[in-house]
A and B are shown apart, each in its own frame.
Chain A
Amino acid sequence: MARLDAAVSLFWVLLGIVLCRESVALGLADASGPGSGLFPFLAGLLMLGGGAGLLVRHVLTRGGHAPGEEIVPQFWPAPGAAFRVGALVVVVAGMILAVPYLGFALTGVFGLPILFRVIAPEASWWTAIAVGGIAAACIHLLFAVALGTPLPRGPLGF
């Protein structure tokens, strides 16, 4: 984890440099006063300084961390964690892609059972479909019916 932490610190340094350069290009000040780039420049400096500080600390303490800093000992804490997280992200991305075509309600009806099975593989598909359908219906009723939020509709009209 210490190497990953150092790599992320380096990323902040690089991002800070890019942000400062882009901010200078926007203009830090002109005749009328501070320019559009001043504030993001300061934000970039903060990231650059923080990242550099972390890198220095990493070198000086040989990968040690600050008191109270809660870095997980292992990136994947349990067997199957990578699969569950990866699958959840992929399913949610799929649901986002499906929303314009199916609407939120149908996307939920199809997507939630898959999510349910990802999190609880021991549950049956029938349970997953029932839970997904009920949850999708409840959320549709809350937002689309009770609160009147205009949501994308699917081929079935909801």
Chain B
Amino acid sequence: MDPVAGLLAGFGVILTWQNIQFIFIGSLIGTLIGVLPGIGPLAALSLLLPATVALPPVGAVAMLCAIFYGSMYGGSITSVLVNIPGEAASVVTCLDGYAMAKQGRAGAALGMAALGSFIAGTLGIVVLSVAAPALGAFAIRLGPPEYTALMALGLACTILMIQGSALKGAIMIGAGAALAAIGMDIITGEFRFNYGSIQLSAGIELLAVVIGLFGVSEILLNVENAARGMAVKARLSGLWPSRVDWAASWAPILRGSGLGFAVGLLPGGGPVTASFLSYAAERRIGKDPHTFGKGRIEGVAGPEAANNAAVSSGMIPLLALGIPGNAVTALLMGALIINGVQPGPTMMTDRADVFWGVVASLYIGNVFLLILNLPMVGLWVQLLRVPYSVLFPSIVLLAMVGTYSANRNLFDLWVMLGFGVLGWFLRKLGYELAPLVLAFVLAPLLEQSLRQSMVMSPDGAMIFLERPLAALMLGAAVLMLLLVAFKGLTVRKLGGTT
């Protein structure tokens, strides 16, 4: 199916009253999550994933996607108004956005953030509509060795992209893969690491793990500081940017869109990396770099465009290859599987309705978000006054009900609490949890591909070197790990700082 016909069919699927409601609710919740600091898109998606189990697959995934990119839109509001990023991808928006607010230009900063996000999001979706089917058509020719190598490359890339310690990232990948191995072996039917427990025989539930790691641990970290509501002092006026603002911003928006799209495609990349890189690029390219951080609208437009473009391109590896590139798309993959849809190259033929329906929903969601973020920004500002003492207990009960509802198993609640405490503890020590979730989701597919590959060849593991594409990807993975190992040395030799 060509992209135009596919998209038209997708709009045919998504344009029902029920699906529109799901996208609107997702956009609303996403913006809310973005606005309220302390709960990121990962925590929100994991908490709300159980609520989508009862929905039709297109509506469920469309709603979850809307929550994700809605949080990118909403995150800029607190960055600009109170200098606190609503989520990690909006950290750099604080630098110039808050400076603009202090100069009385909060409206222009928020307006440009929303419009830049809309333009980048729309451009990203157009490229997604064209690129994903092409990549899917190519991927259908890949065999188990190539899939194994591709996933190994993805995990190596994840280690390369880790902001802190790569060793800790590798440990998290190992832990995620080990956790996924608990339960019945998918090939031999043998039980592994269940130690006689019936509960562990079925394996560990993804939802309990992610709700614990991201939802509960985030609440534990937040209650440590006894956070309260925030005081919003900035005045809002003139949300539509002036001609001067547009003249300064159109190029950063286009650059941010391109950069964000490229970064989002990389495994381990995502909105956070994209926004930081875009800010760095604007500072390097822009006139008077020393004025960045003092209220330059380019410092808002570029990063906000980049993080939204990265959301769209992050969907490509998931939908076309069935391989999530980051923890959020890993969760979306979980949502698709729970709803009986296997993402990957065959999805475009077997479940074209879901694929094109989800792509079409992204267009509609972006329009909703522009409406929600420009005329209704005042409403979101009021929500910043909700005290955390009201929010967090409610989220705890939501996490419990959500975890239970996936399997109706009380054991999952203990798993959730255990992973919540574990996640809280590990985050204090600088461990990033996203690689664990990514490995946990990828592990069954990786193990299956690895073992199938080795059975296919009389030479065992040599098959990975005999197949050119697999060998190339494994070579790239090794190169990335070497880059990680010598990262400090390379940067110092180039005269930079780590």
Which positions in A face B, CB cutoff 8 Å?
A: 1, 4-5, 8, 12, 16, 19, 22, 26, 32-40, 42-47, 49-51, 53-54, 57, 65-72, 75-78, 80-81, 84-85, 88-89, 92-93, 95-96, 99-100, 104, 107-108, 111-112, 115-116, 118-120, 123, 131-132, 135-136, 138-139, 142-143, 147-152
A116 CB to closest chain B CB, in angstroms? 5
Taken residue by residue from 169 to 212, chain B's Cβ proximity to chain A (1 for < 8 Å, 0 otherwise) reads as 01101110110010001011010110000000000000000000
Report if B245 contacts A (CB, 8 A): no
B430 CB to closest chain A CB, in angstroms? 4
Report if B374 contacts A (CB, 8 A): no
Q: Which of B168, B443, B450 has the largest count of A CB atoms less than 10 A from its CB?
A: B168
Q: CA of A135 to CA of B393 in the docked complex: distance in angstroms? A: 8
B397 CB to closest chain A CB, in angstroms? 5
Q: 20 more A-B contacts (CB under 8 A) besides A33-B451, A151-B401?
A: A26-B190, A26-B192, A51-B171, A53-B167, A53-B170, A54-B167, A65-B164, A71-B430, A78-B226, A81-B225, A95-B397, A96-B413, A100-B410, A107-B397, A111-B397, A112-B393, A116-B389, A119-B223, A132-B393, A147-B54
A79 CB to closest chain B CB, in angstroms? 9
- Could you tell me if A149 and B54 are in contact, using CB atoms closer than 8 angstroms? yes
Taken residue by residue from 387 to 420, chain B's Cβ proximity to chain A (1 for < 8 Å, 0 otherwise) reads as 1111011101110111011001010011001001
Complex interface: chain A residues within 8 A of B404 (CB): 99, 104, 151-152
Assess A123 versus B443: contact at CB under 8 Å? Given A1-B429, A57-B167.
no
Name the contact of B398 in the complex, choosing from A89, A95, A139 (C-beta under 8 A). Answer: A139
Name the contact of B223 in the complex, choosing from A49, A67, A84, A138 (C-beta under 8 A). Answer: A84
Q: What are 22 inter-chain pairs, A to B, with CB distance below 8 A? A: A26-B192, A36-B188, A43-B174, A43-B181, A44-B178, A47-B178, A77-B225, A78-B224, A78-B225, A78-B226, A81-B226, A84-B224, A84-B226, A85-B223, A89-B421, A92-B417, A120-B387, A131-B390, A138-B394, A143-B51, A147-B405, A150-B408
Report if B428 contacts A (CB, 8 A): yes
Taken residue by residue from 478 to 496, chain B's Cβ proximity to chain A (1 for < 8 Å, 0 otherwise) reads as 0000000000100000000
- Could you tell me if A71 and B429 are in contact, using CB atoms closer than 8 angstroms? yes
Complex interface: chain A residues within 8 A of B165 (CB): 54, 65-66, 69
B24 CB to closest chain A CB, in angstroms? 16
Assess A72 versus B168: contact at CB under 8 Å? Given A46-B173, A139-B401.
no
A109 CB to closest chain B CB, in angstroms? 10
Interface residues of B in 209-242 (CB under 8 A from A): 216, 219-220, 223-226
Q: CA of A84 to CA of B227 in the docked complex: distance in angstroms? A: 12
- Could you tell me if B226 and A72 are in contact, using CB atoms closer than 8 angstroms? no
- Could you tell me if A147 and B167 are in contact, using CB atoms closer than 8 angstroms? no
Assess A96 versus B400: contact at CB under 8 Å? Given A54-B168, A66-B164.
yes
- Could you tell me if A42 and B408 are in contact, using CB atoms closer than 8 angstroms? no
- Could you tell me if B389 and A47 are in contact, using CB atoms closer than 8 angstroms? no
Complex interface: chain A residues within 8 A of B163 (CB): 68-70
- Could you tell me if A66 and B166 are in contact, using CB atoms closer than 8 angstroms? yes
Complex interface: chain B residues within 8 A of A119 (CB): 223, 226, 388-389, 392-393
Name the contact of A116 in the complex, choosing from B51, B188, B390, B446 (C-beta under 8 A). Answer: B390
Report if B279 contacts A (CB, 8 A): no
Q: CA of A95 to CA of B401 in the docked complex: distance in angstroms? A: 11
**What band does the interface of chain B fall in when counting residues whose beta carbon is under 8 Å from A?**
35 or more
Complex interface: chain A residues within 8 A of B178 (CB): 19, 40, 43-44, 47
A125 CB to closest chain B CB, in angstroms? 13
Q: CA of A90 to CA of B283 in the docked complex: distance in angstroms? A: 48
Q: CA of A148 to CA of B408 in the docked complex: distance in angstroms? A: 13
Q: Which residue of A lies closest to B172 (CB)?
A: A50
B288 CB to closest chain A CB, in angstroms? 28
Assess A39 versus B177: contact at CB under 8 Å? Given A104-B401, A135-B394.
yes
- Could you tell me if B405 and A99 are in contact, using CB atoms closer than 8 angstroms? no
Q: CA of A136 to CA of B451 in the docked complex: distance in angstroms? A: 47
B249 CB to closest chain A CB, in angstroms? 29
- Could you tell me if A68 and B164 are in contact, using CB atoms closer than 8 angstroms? yes
Q: CA of A72 to CA of B225 in the docked complex: distance in angstroms? A: 13
Report if B472 contacts A (CB, 8 A): no
- Could you tell me if A116 and B455 are in contact, using CB atoms closer than 8 angstroms? no
Q: CA of A22 to CA of B396 in the docked complex: distance in angstroms? A: 36
- Could you tell me if A39 and B171 are in contact, using CB atoms closer than 8 angstroms? no
Q: Which residue of B lies closest to A49 (CB)?
A: B170
Q: CA of A123 to CA of B388 in the docked complex: distance in angstroms? A: 12
Q: Which of B165, B190, B417, B443 has the largest count of A CB atoms less than 10 A from its CB?
A: B165
Which 3 pairs of residues, A with B, have the shortest CB-CB distance? Answer: A46-B174, A120-B389, A69-B164
Name the contact of B429 in the complex, choosing from A5, A26, A51 (C-beta under 8 A). Answer: A5
Q: CA of A87 to CA of B40 in the docked complex: distance in angstroms? A: 23
Complex interface: chain B residues within 8 A of A131 (CB): 390, 393
Complex interface: chain A residues within 8 A of B410 (CB): 96, 99-100, 152
- Could you tell me if B171 and A50 are in contact, using CB atoms closer than 8 angstroms? yes
Complex interface: chain B residues within 8 A of A111 (CB): 393, 397
Q: Which residue of B lies closest to A99 (CB)?
A: B410
Q: CA of A89 to CA of B450 in the docked complex: distance in angstroms? A: 40
Q: CA of A112 to CA of B388 in the docked complex: distance in angstroms? A: 13
Q: CA of A106 to CA of B192 in the docked complex: distance in angstroms? A: 38
B301 CB to closest chain A CB, in angstroms? 26
Complex interface: chain A residues within 8 A of B446 (CB): 39
Report if B68 contacts A (CB, 8 A): no
Assess A69 versus B168: contact at CB under 8 Å? Given A43-B178, A131-B393.
yes
A134 CB to closest chain B CB, in angstroms? 9
Q: Which of B170, B188, B401, B451 has the largest count of A CB atoms less than 10 A from its CB?
A: B401
Assess A12 versus B396: contact at CB under 8 Å? Given A70-B164, A78-B224, A84-B224.
no
- Could you tell me if A46 and B220 are in contact, using CB atoms closer than 8 angstroms? no
Complex interface: chain A residues within 8 A of B164 (CB): 65-66, 68-70
